[in-house]
Amino acid sequence: MSLFAKKSLESLLAEADESGKGLKRTLSAGALVALGIGAIIGAGLFVRTAAAAAQNAGPSVTIGFIVAAIGCALAGLCYAELSSSIPISGSAYTYTYATMGELLAWVIGWDLILEYAVGAATVGIAWSEYLNNLLVNVLHMNPIPYEWCHSPFEHSVDGVHGIINIPALAIVGLLSLLLIKGTQESAFVNGLIVITKVSIVILIIVFGWHFINPANHEPYIPAATTYTDHQGINHSYGGIMGILGAAGVVFFAFIGFDAVSTAAQETKNPKTAMPIGILGSLAICTVLYILFAHVLTGLAPVDFFRTNGKEASVVAAINTYMPGYGWLGKLVTVAILAGFSSVILVMLLGQSRVFYSMSKDGLLPPAFSALHPKFKTPYKANLIILAIVGVFAAFVPGDIVGEMTSIGTLFAFILVCAAVIILRKTEPNLPRQFKTPFVPVVPILGIIVCAAMIFGLGWTNWLRLFGWLAIGFIIYFMYSKKNSKLNK
């Protein structure tokens, strides 16, 4: 069989119609918007913003957010068309299978692990940072010792080496069990968390605006240099490369709107609800992000985010540069922990649904598509994902997994943009509830912007991506190709 054999649209749409035999359709358009915001606003905003300012762009991290938002908007328009035309679990994996064939579908399915599983691990690590902040500044308890909340590849400024990140592992395990209980229950919990954390973001913008020091925004675009962090890693700082690098880093903050598309098979009216969920959540978050980044970089100088304000950066900036607002710092700590939890929840949901689709196609073992007899959720997939995510969360540094997540997602977005162009040519009569405007201009621009952000992330991340894909090819040719249902 050809490595590029395609799954027919007829079979995909037939699978979507069989919802009564599989995943329950319980989600509305409003729930999808909340699901998207739940995934988007989290570690990217509260952790990666300060990291991008410190390592890449300084105050011009706001421009990085704009570049990342443009790339996401272009890809989001493509996602909206595909998810409304092919309303089935699997996201970019499913779209690629229908347009570019099995090998590339496997590549994107394997790549999506970088987005969802490794992304969940990244947020779990950030959750661990803010848990310590909660213990010290809110509950006035002793912090968890450095060695038990950091990976063995990290060391503190004063030389203490990490062993294992226990809090990150614990939160991933707890939320995996919640997902096994059911998607509707998980969406309800997520909705409550979304209201809380959006309110907190707005409070920080409103109150923090009065404490902006204009000197911290000078120069707005720093001169191009190289910055070496305390772990000995070099970063392109300032200039165009700094902004592109920042865009690649804060791009992590936008990851999540495409996770909405993985829940297509559990949506009541996917043809109209999917575009609303994807584009609505993206639009709301973009406005909040740009305002938030402007306030945060105005509160504190870049050096603060490189030293004392490196961990739990937002709370550290509030406590240091907003006198009289200690209560806001405490409120933010609690809200951020809840917000991070919702991000992990959505990413674990997205990963299990991608694995579910790949297993149904025979590319992964049957265990990944086994549904719980009572809850109708892919519980075995959730448990296997718990093990994978747990390893990353417990033993890999946050910066590394964050940038792996960004580059994996950008690669997925490029293939989604290409899929729209191909499907317009090969299936011109396919019913499309939502159409991407100005095809092929919008998808091509999406490919260019996403490729530019990949370029800005640097060669070490390119190597990690190629190494990850190499492992995926080995698994495909040893197992997936032989067991593919399309092949049989």
Mean pLDDT of 133-148: 89
The pLDDT value given to residue 212: 96
Average pLDDT, the chain: 84
From 243-247, 266-270, 382-386, the region with the lowest mean pLDDT: 266-270
Give the helix ranges, DSSP H, for 361-457.
Answer: 379-395, 398-426, 441-456
| Contact between residue 248 and residue 4 where contact means Cβ atoms under 8 Å apart | no
Phi, psi angle pair for 165, to nearest 5°: -95, 90
In whole angstroms, give the CA distance from residue 89 to residue 356. Answer: 8
Alpha carbons within 13 A on the beta-carbon side of 299: 29
From 82-91, 411-420, 458-467, the region with the lowest mean pLDDT: 82-91
Phi, psi angle pair for 155, to nearest 5°: -145, 150
The pLDDT value given to residue 371: 84
From 237-241, 291-295, 439-443, the region with the lowest mean pLDDT: 237-241
The pLDDT value given to residue 135: 92
Highest averaged pLDDT of the listed ranges 43-57, 455-469, 470-484 = 470-484
Indicate the DSSP class of residue 41: S
Is 488 a residue whose pLDDT tops 80?
no
Check if CATH label 1.20.1740.10 holds for domain 33-483: yes
In whole angstroms, give the CA distance from residue 146 to residue 142. Answer: 11
| Contact between residue 26 and residue 268 where contact means Cβ atoms under 8 Å apart | yes
The pLDDT value given to residue 19: 47
pLDDT digits (tens, 9 = 90+) for 186-221: 566 666 777 887 888 899 999 999 999 999 999 999
Q: Which has the higher per-residue pLDDT, 413 or 259?
A: 413
Is 477 a residue whose pLDDT tops 80?
yes
Is 21 a residue whose pLDDT tops 60?
no
Alpha carbons within 13 A on the beta-carbon side of 136: 14
CA angle 344, 377, 362 (to 5 degrees): 100
Q: Which has the higher per-residue pLDDT, 342 or 212?
A: 212
Q: Which has the higher per-residue pLDDT, 228 or 319?
A: 319
pLDDT digits (tens, 9 = 90+) for 391-422: 999 998 877 787 888 888 888 889 889 989 99
Residues in the chain: 488
| Contact between residue 65 and residue 253 where contact means Cβ atoms under 8 Å apart | yes
Q: Is the pTM of this model over 0.85?
A: no
Is 485 a residue whose pLDDT tops 80?
yes
List the beta strands (DSSP E) in 211-298: 225-228, 234-237
Tally of CB atoms within 10 A around 216: 18
| Contact between residue 134 and residue 335 where contact means Cβ atoms under 8 Å apart | no
Q: Which has the higher per-residue pLDDT, 28 or 61?
A: 61
Q: Which residues contact 100 (CB under 8 A, 6 or more apart)?
A: 4, 6, 415, 418, 419, 422
Nearest Cα neighbor of 409 from 459, 461, 473, 481 is 461
In whole angstroms, give the CA distance from residue 252 to residue 245. Answer: 12
The pLDDT value given to residue 30: 79
Mean pLDDT of 285-303: 92
In whole angstroms, give the CA distance from residue 340 to residue 336. Answer: 6
The pLDDT value given to residue 24: 63
Q: Which residues contact 167 (CB under 8 A, 6 or more apart)?
A: 127, 128, 131, 144, 149
Nearest Cα neighbor of 393 from 229, 151, 222 is 151
The pLDDT value given to residue 190: 63
- What is 77-93 written as a DSSP string? HHHHHHHHHS-STTTHH
Q: Which has the higher per-residue pLDDT, 252 or 391?
A: 391
Domain positions in the chain: 33-483
The pLDDT value given to residue 15: 64
The pLDDT value given to residue 187: 60
Is 18 a residue whose pLDDT tops 60?
no
In whole angstroms, give the CA distance from residue 286 to residue 119. Answer: 19
From 179-188, 318-327, 435-444, the region with the lowest mean pLDDT: 179-188
The pLDDT value given to residue 391: 92
